[in-house]
Amino acid sequence: MFNQKNIITAVEIGTSKIAVLVGEVNQEGKVSIIGFHENPSNGTVCKGEIVEMDRLLAILSETIATADQAGGHMIGRSTIYVAVTSSGINSQQGEGVVYIESPDRQVSENDVSNAIENATGKHIKAGLVHLGTFDSFFSLDGIRKVADPVNQKASKLEANIHLLYGDEKRIENFKSAVYAAGFDQEAMPVFSPIADLFGVLSEDEKEHGVLMVNMGAGTTEYIVFHNFGVMLSGVLPVGLEHLANDLSLGLNLHINTCRKLLQEPTIAEHQRSGAGYIQIQEKNLSGGRQVPLNSIEKIIDLRLRETFGIIKHRVNQEGLYHHLGRGAIFTGGAALFEPAVKIFGRVFEVPIRIGRPFEPSGAVSALENPRYSTLWGLLKCGEFNHNTASGKNETSLGGLLVNGLDNAANSLFKKLGNIKKAIKF
């Protein structure tokens, strides 16, 4: 019985927290949480990048050990996924063309594979590592866009592919940290927005199109998903920590005071009550200090509008706004900050919702906080991987193709539908 357990471990090394989630996939292919723990990062990570490895390893090792204990000491048997992000991750679109040579002009699995190969054949620059390849869409005769072209008739097939690349040293830092913290195998790096797709989006949103933005302490990631394909993704090295720093500098307050303002409902409560000032207490202020609410609001508005505006510009630049049939999703720690949610809605001017970890049958009660969207998504990514390898997937991300790192041992994913090709992170 012990040998039949399928254990998945998800690791998130973020600017504000180090978190580990352990799950077990049952015989029906559903993952359930068996262990969880988190600790503050304590300055070991900045803007999604590891800056103090030794201290990080101490925190990560303790986090893993506690989660492992809660999970019945099963981590050693795990498949391990680690979320990666940073300004060193970039994306681009690739296009590959094949001409259909069969007499009946019917697209085959081999035609699709060849088109994808042609689209992904670009040379990777030195110092970069391939993080993933994802279907965007296929085009038949340059006219019809489809998610799955197999068995359809055409003279020409074009594959439009979303390619992800990361700085090799930065990605290796994430993998090395997990390995050094006690795992005897390599972790599979997953770009954070890809993990979010598995943990936050509904099938309806995947089909009809949505923009998802995850703002944490040190980074803001975004992704556009439409017709089960990745159309755009990216990361900005800006998060709530930068907003706290803006408030600290602009209002001459200690940064910890500003962090507290962003973590607690104080600002939103004062906005609702119509109060003009917020009473601030600091150790060096014996009687406290009244800070105009209007001043706080202006600083917050400037930073967030600038950040969201960059993403909106990129979506518009790629002509993707009309693909957002289900609007936009805001997740991550900033989704708990009510003023940020309001500004998010004003900037994007589409229907929005807060992205929380969920199952099709309902919320994930233990992790329903948007702070855990990526962590839960990693676990669901592992569930998807396990079920695809064992042939249990019936519905999924549709045309999603994940192709990745240069270690053949990581070939765990297979493309759903009709392309029988091993793929990997």
- Give me the DSSP letters along 167-185: EHHHHHHHHHHHHHTT-SS
SS3 97: strand
Gap between the Cα atoms of 369 and 366, Å rounded: 8
Q: What share of the chain is helix, strand, coil (3-state, %, to 5)?
A: 40, 30, 30
Residue 284 tokens read as 């060096």
CA distances (Å), 339 to each of 105, 255, 281, 344, 353, in order? 55, 19, 22, 9, 14
Gap between the Cα atoms of 150 and 140, Å rounded: 11
Q: What are phi and psi of 373, to 5 degrees?
A: -60, -45
Residue 30 near residue 379, CB atoms below 8 Å: no
Residue 157 tokens read as 């097939």
Residue 79 CB coordination number (10 Å)? 18
Gap between the Cα atoms of 273 and 250, Å rounded: 24
Candidates 3.30.1490.110, 3.20.20.210, 3.30.70.3400, 3.40.190.10; correct CATH number of 90-165?
3.30.1490.110
- The residues spanned by each domain of the chain are 90-165
Strand partners, 92: 163
Q: For tokens 């060193």, name the residue.
A: 88
Residue 332 near residue 370, CB atoms below 8 Å: yes
What is the full per-residue pLDDT of the chain (425 aa) written as tens digits?
A: 344 678 999 999 999 999 999 999 988 888 989 999 999 999 999 988 899 999 999 999 999 999 999 888 878 767 899 999 987 888 888 889 999 999 999 999 999 988 988 888 766 788 888 888 888 889 999 888 888 899 999 999 999 889 888 899 999 999 999 999 888 778 899 999 999 999 999 999 999 999 999 999 999 999 999 988 899 999 999 999 999 999 999 999 999 999 999 999 999 999 999 999 999 987 776 667 899 999 999 999 999 999 999 999 999 999 999 999 999 999 999 999 999 999 999 999 999 999 999 876 665 667 889 999 999 999 999 998 888 877 766 544 433 434 433 332 232 232 322 222 322 22
Residue 240 tokens read as 């709530």
Question: What is the distance of C-alpha 180 from the center of its chain?
Answer: 24
